Structure 1
Amino acid sequence: MSVQNTLALRRWATPLTIVTSVLVGISGVMMFFHLGEGLIKGMHEWIGLLMVAAVVTHIVVHVKPFKRHFSQRAALSVMFAVLLVSASLLDFGGGGSPMMAVIHSVEGAPITSLAELQQVSTQVLIDKLAAAGFTTVSEEMSLNHIAEQSQVHPKELIGIVFSE
């Protein structure tokens, strides 16, 4: 590839990589927390495909620095860790990912069990939830029950219960 072509690609590949990464990141977080899923799902998928093209072009433009990362122990460690976490989230047998199974167990467990898991009193968790506006909570209720009653997603409650 000529220097002139590389410079032309660089002018649009890096900004395109930046903007598509930000959009896919924001929409991915929104989808994770079930915020406007119907509104953003299509955009997330199409911008994701555009992001793949932008990243591939960015790699082509920066091939030497890209290759260098595969000879650095720290970079390889980070890549391996991300691949390992990603593999743990895959659903190989149709039974769901192990990580999602843990999350669903936490969402379905009574407050007493979550308190035991965190090694705090049940009242500490009830107080955390009350401080966040969830006042009709009993120790035998699950996060799923509280979320349904309050019309919020259980993941929002996980963030409250497991906050410091």
Structure 2
Amino acid sequence: MKLNRNYVTPFISLIFLVVGISGMLMFFHLLDGYTEVVHEIFGLFFFICAIFHILLNWKPLKIHFKKGVFLPAALALAILSVLFIVEQQYSPKVDTIILERLAKAPIADAFRALQVDSLAAVKRLRAKGISVDAGDTLGNLWTDNETNIMEVFDLITEE
């Protein structure tokens, strides 16, 4: 199959637009919970289209690579990326901290924090074969019962 600029260029442009808009929505926490999936999936498509774009434009790109601007720009981008990653490691997001503490809290405290009926939550968990003891933590529930955090959390918060 021969790659055609008439298809790749519009796709990469439109996908760039979707990834950019969803990224801005995520940055400003607008429509949280909806934009992440769109951003991730279209980000993957954007990456694939970018590969096709590079293949189609390899000769002109080689000219840019030889210019003195490319290497410093690539180096600056790499350094900024590493700095953001390191910064995130040393100051995790608030929701990550809350979830970690909630996972380590006694199950009764976790139920109160989540504002759920503890008896109903325990009944739902046991109905799915997840054993619950008074001294458990949320973290124990999914590790001891070989399940995942989302299943346990969904069962607890189910109305």
Which TM-score bucket, shorter chain as reference? 0.5 to 0.7
Question: Which structure 2 residues correspond to residues 60-79 of structure 1 after superposition, within 5 A?
Answer: 60-79=55-74
- TM-score normalised per structure 2: 0.52
Question: Which structure 2 residues correspond to residues 67-106 of structure 1 after superposition, within 5 A?
Answer: 67-91=62-86, 94-96=89-91
Whole-angstrom distance in 2 between the partners of 1:68 and 1:17: 21
Q: CA deviation at 1:96?
A: 3.4
Count of equivalent residues = 93
Structure 1 position 56 matched with structure 2 position 51: yes
Structure 1 position 43 matched with structure 2 position 41: no
1:12 equivalent among 7, 21, 27: 7
Whole-angstrom distance in 2 between the partners of 1:93 and 1:21: 25
- TM-score normalised per structure 1: 0.51
Whole-angstrom distance in 2 between the partners of 1:20 and 1:93: 27
Q: CA deviation at 1:75?
A: 2.3
Letter in 2 for 1:87: V
Whole-angstrom distance in 2 between the partners of 1:54 and 1:96: 34
Question: Which structure 2 residues correspond to residues 113-152 of structure 1 after superposition, within 5 A?
Answer: none
Structure number with larger C-alpha Rg = 2
Alignment RMSD? 2.3
For structure 2, list consecutive stretches of 5 or more residues without a partner in the other structure.
Answer: 94-159
Q: CA deviation at 1:92?
A: 7.8
Whole-angstrom distance in 2 between the partners of 1:30 and 1:82: 22
Q: Secondary structure at the match of 2:21?
A: helix
- Is contact 1:90-1:96 (8 Å) kept? no
Q: CA deviation at 1:82?
A: 1.5
- Identity, in percent, stands at 31
- Is contact 1:20-1:47 (8 Å) kept? yes
Whole-angstrom distance in 1 between the partners of 2:19 and 2:85: 20
Q: 1:92 to 1:30 in 2, by over 3 A?
A: closer
Query: In structure 1, what is the equivalent of residue 21 of structure 2?
Result: 26
Q: 1:13 to 1:93 in 2, by over 3 A?
A: closer
Question: Which structure 2 residues correspond to residues 148-159 of structure 1 after superposition, within 5 A?
Answer: none
Whole-angstrom distance in 2 between the partners of 1:79 and 1:94: 23
Whole-angstrom distance in 1 between the partners of 2:32 and 2:22: 8
Whole-angstrom distance in 1 between the partners of 2:66 and 2:84: 27
Q: CA deviation at 1:94?
A: 3.5
